[in-house]
Copies of this chain bind each other. A is one copy, B any other.
C-alpha cells in the first residue's frame, strides 16, 4: 500500500478509521442478509480526486501497484455496489462536479455531480432530467449510471437501459497507461448498471426532458385493487402529464409520518407527480375511479416517499421489515398484482412503482414484509414467481445474481479489456474475479435466491 499512496502524490486521500468505515458503506443495510454478508468490509484508503487528471493518475497507480478500487458516488445504492469486498481503495468521485455543456435537450456533466444540483441548473433552462432516483439530492450522476436503473420519470421514459436514455459515457480504463474511451449508442450499456467493474465513468451525456410544473399529489382509495387500476389508468393516459405513479397498500402509507394527515388509516394511497397543465383531465380520472385527492401542492419532494425511499421510511419505522423487488408481467400486470395482494397481502405489503420498460407499461413491486429468515424469503420469492411476477434478487452483491444485468461474452471481453488486472470492484462478478476463498454463509445463500430476471 505504501508505494501506492506515494504514487497518489497530492491527490487528497484518507486512512482515518471513521472515513474508511463511512465511505465503505452504502444502503445495503436495507437487506438483513446483505448486511450480515458485508459486515466489516472496509477499504484501506479513501481517495478524493479533484478532477479527471487525478482519476487517470489513480487508475494508473492502482494498475501499477495492483490495488483494487471501487468508484463511489454518494453511497446510496442498495446492493453493495460501493462496498469494497477486497479492501484496497474507494475512489469518491464528488470532486468531479462540473456541468460540461447543456445544448437544447442534451446535457453532459462530470460523473460526481449531485443529480439534484444538475437538475436544478437544468430547470432554469426549462429542462429537467428524464429520470432520477428518489435519492436525487444526494446521489451522483455517475452513481446512478453505475448502480441505478430507473426512478422518478421512468413512467414516461422507460428505464435508463432503454435505448435513448443515455447518450454517451466517458470511461477511464484501469491500466498502467489508462485510456479514455467514449462509449455511445448501444455501447453505453456495457458500463451502465455494471457496479463500476469495467471502467471509471468520468462523464455522462444525457437527453433532457422539458420541465413541466409538477404537482405533488396524493389520492387515496378504500380498496387497494382500485388504487392499482387507477395507477395503471393514469400511467397509460398518454394525454395527462405525470412523472411519478407510486401506489401503496396499507400499512405502507402509515410509515410516511410527515404526510400522515393526508394518508387516512387503512386506505391505499397513490403518491403522484402530475403536470399542472393537465390537472383538470386528471381530476376527471380520479372521479372515474372513485378516489379522493387529499393533497396537491407545487413540487415539494413527494418523490422522497417512493422508489427506494419507501423502503427507507418503512425500515426507519420498523427495523423488523425487509423488502424484495419484482416486476409484474407485461401481459396482465394489474390482474397479477391483485392476485398477489389477495393471496399474500397479510404478509407482504405491496408498494408499486409504475414504469415503462422495454416499451411497455408495467409496475415494479417493492413489497415490504417482516423478516423471519431465509426460508421465508425463498418461500415468498417462489409464491410471487408462481403468480407470474419476475424477481430481481435484491439481497446479493453479485452483479449477475441480481437478475438485471446480463453479463454476456461481449460484456466479459469488455471488462477484461478495460480492467486487465481485474482490480475494479472485485468480488462482484462471480466466476471472474471471485473473492479469495469465495463467498460463503449468508452471502452464498443470498446469491442463491431466485432471480428470474427483468428481461422479457
Which of A237-245, A309-317, A370-378 is near enough to bind chain B? A237-245
Which of A85-93, A205-213, A380-388, A405-413 is near enough to bind chain B? A205-213
Q: Select one of B167, B281, B356 contacting A278, CB under 8 A.
A: B167
Q: Select one of B158, B281, B359 contacting A163, CB under 8 A.
A: B281
A119 to B37, CA, bound (A): 59
Q: Select one of B156, B185, B238, B360 contacting A356, CB under 8 A.
A: B238
> Given that A163-B284, A212-B105, A284-B185 are known contacts, is A278 also in contact with B237, CB under 8 Å in the complex?
no
Min CB distance A298 to B, Å, is: 13
A285 to B207, CA, bound (A): 17
Task: Flag whether A280 is at the interface (Cβ < 8 A).
Answer: yes
A111 to B185, CA, bound (A): 44
Asked if A237 and B105 sit within 8 Å, CB to CB, the answer is no
Asked if A213 and B104 sit within 8 Å, CB to CB, the answer is yes
Within 8 A of B (CB), among A269-301: 275, 277-278, 280-285
A184 to B104, CA, bound (A): 33
What is the interface size of chain A, counting residues whose CB is below 8 A from a CB of the partner?
A: 42
Asked if A165 and B239 sit within 8 Å, CB to CB, the answer is yes
What residues on B are CB-neighbors of A452 within 8 Å?
Answer: none
Q: Select one of B156, B163, B241 contacting A285, CB under 8 A.
A: B163
Within 8 A of B (CB), among A10-32: none
Chain B proximity mask over A97-109: 1 for CB below 8 Å, otherwise 0 = 0000000111000
> Given that A213-B104, A233-B359 are known contacts, is A239 also in contact with B207, CB under 8 Å in the complex?
yes
Task: Flag whether A438 is at the interface (Cβ < 8 A).
Answer: no
**Whose C-beta in chain B lies nearest to the C-beta of A186?**
B284
Q: Select one of B126, B184, B277, B282 contacting A106, CB under 8 A.
A: B277
Q: Select one of B158, B165, B278, B284 contacting A207, CB under 8 A.
A: B278
> Given that A104-B213, A210-B210, A212-B105 are known contacts, is A239 also in contact with B280, CB under 8 Å in the complex?
no
Task: Flag whether A236 is at the interface (Cβ < 8 A).
Answer: yes
Q: Select one of B162, B208, B239 contacting A158, CB under 8 A.
A: B239
Min CB distance A145 to B, Å, is: 14
**Whose C-beta in chain B lies nearest to the C-beta of A208?**
B277
What residues on B are CB-neighbors of A126 within 8 Å?
Answer: 126
Task: Flag whether A164 is at the interface (Cβ < 8 A).
Answer: yes
A208 to B356, CA, bound (A): 22
Task: Flag whether A157 is at the interface (Cβ < 8 A).
Answer: yes
Asked if A241 and B284 sit within 8 Å, CB to CB, the answer is no
**Whose C-beta in chain B lies nearest to the C-beta of A105?**
B277
A283 to B163, CA, bound (A): 10
Asked if A280 and B213 sit within 8 Å, CB to CB, the answer is no
What residues on B are CB-neighbors of A356 within 8 Å?
Answer: 238
Find the residue from A213, A277, A284, A361 having the highest chain B CB count within 10 A: A277
Asked if A237 and B186 sit within 8 Å, CB to CB, the answer is no
Asked if A237 and B284 sit within 8 Å, CB to CB, the answer is no
What residues on B are CB-neighbors of A164 within 8 Å?
Answer: 237-241, 278, 281-282
A126 to B125, CA, bound (A): 11
Asked if B360 and A162 sit within 8 Å, CB to CB, the answer is no
A14 to B121, CA, bound (A): 58
Min CB distance A367 to B, Å, is: 25
Chain B proximity mask over A114-145: 1 for CB below 8 Å, otherwise 0 = 00000000000010001000000000000000
What residues on B are CB-neighbors of A130 within 8 Å?
Answer: 239
Extra 14 A-B pairs, beta carbons < 8 Å, given A104-B277, A126-B126, A185-B281: A105-B212, A105-B213, A105-B275, A130-B239, A157-B238, A158-B238, A158-B239, A162-B239, A163-B237, A164-B237, A167-B280, A186-B281, A210-B210, A233-B359
Q: Which residues of A contact B (CB under 8 A)?
A: 104-106, 126, 130, 156-158, 162-165, 167, 184-186, 207-210, 212-213, 233, 236-241, 275, 277-278, 280-285, 356, 359-361
